[in-house]
Amino acid sequence: MNHTISTDSIQVERDGPIEAVPSQFDDDRQLDFADNSSSVSAADAISLTPAPVSGASKKVPSCVDRSVFVDFRRICNTLKHEIIVAKQHLSEGLVDEFGLPAILHIEDLLEELFDCEWGQGEHLKRVVVAIESQTKNVEWTSSHVAFLEEVIGFLSTRYVIDEFVVSQCVVSIKSHGLDPFRGTVAEPETLRKYKIVESNDD
C-alpha cells in the first residue's frame, strides 16, 4: 500500500523515502524510496515546531474510542517484540538473512500503525512516515535497530500523540547518526559564479 502526504507546496511520498507540516492526506497516497526524483526527505515531512516544555499536551486525543487505543498499543507492543528479534540477528553491525522475517513483519506493522486512528490529527501518520524514511529499502544496521528500539519504545509509552512526539522522532533519527534528509529530490543547490576573461593569445 502506498501513501502520500500533501500540502499546498510539498508532497511527501512514502515508500521511498521531516520543517513543513502536512495538512491533509490524499486518497492516492504514495512514497517512492527507490526513485529519489519523486520524493522528499523526512525533514521536509515533519515540522520541527518547538514542543511544550512539559513534553506533553493537555489536549485529549481526537479519537477517544478505547478500542482504537488498545489497537495502537497492540501494534506498538508487537513492533517492540519484532525489533528484539531483529536485534538478535545482528552480525558484524548488520541484520543478517535470518532477521529478514522480522524486518518484513515490522514493515507490515508500520503499515497498520499508519492506518491507526489514534492521536491528534495526523501526528501518528507523520511519525510513521519519518520512521519509514529511514527503514525502507535500506540494509538494516545496528543504528537502524537502535533507532527503532528507541522511537517505538517511546511511542508505546505515550497516550497523547502530538507535535512533541513528532519532533522527538526527528531528534532520534539524528541521535543515531541516520540521515533526516534521506530521499531528498536533490542535494542542496550550490550557486557557482564564473568570470569570462578576454585572452589576447592567438
Mean pLDDT, rounded, for 190-202: 58
The pLDDT > 70 percentage for the chain reads 59
What pLDDT was estimated at residue 120?
84
99 phi, psi to nearest 5 deg: -95, -5
Q: Is the model more confident about 24 or about 83? A: 83
| Average model confidence (pLDDT) across the chain | 73
Using pLDDT thresholds of 50, 70 and 90, give the confidence band for residue 101. very high
Q: Where are the domains of the chain?
A: 3-175
Q: How many CA atoms lie within 13 A of 26 on its CB side?
A: 16
18-32, 54-68, 138-152: lowest mean pLDDT where?
18-32
Range 66-69 contact pairs with CB under 8 angstroms and sequence separation of 24 or more = 68/116, 68/117, 68/118, 69/118, 69/159
Q: Residue 109 pLDDT more than 60?
A: yes
In this prediction, residue 119 has a pLDDT band, given cuts at 50, 70 and 90, of confident
Residue 189 has pLDDT above 80, yes or no: no
Q: Are 45 and 33 in contact (CB under 8 A)?
A: no
Flag whether pLDDT at 26 surpasses 90: no
Among the listed residues 133, 127, 83, 76, the one whose alpha carbon sits nearest the alpha carbon of residue 103? 83
pTM for the full predicted model: 0.62
Is residue 56 packed enough to be buried (19+ CB in 10 Å), middle (13-18) or exposed (0-12)? middle
Predicted confidence (pLDDT) at residue 185 exceeds the cutoff of 90: no
Q: Mention every residue, 6+ apart, whose C-beta is less than 8 A from residue 164.
A: 51, 52, 55, 56, 57
Stretch 27-32: mean pLDDT: 38
- Give the pLDDT mean for 63-91: 91
Confidence tier at 166 by pLDDT (50, 70, 90): very high
Are 110 and 60 contacting, i.e. CB atoms less than 8 angstroms apart? no
pLDDT at residue 186 above 90?
A: no
pLDDT-derived band at 195 (thresholds 50, 70, 90) equals low
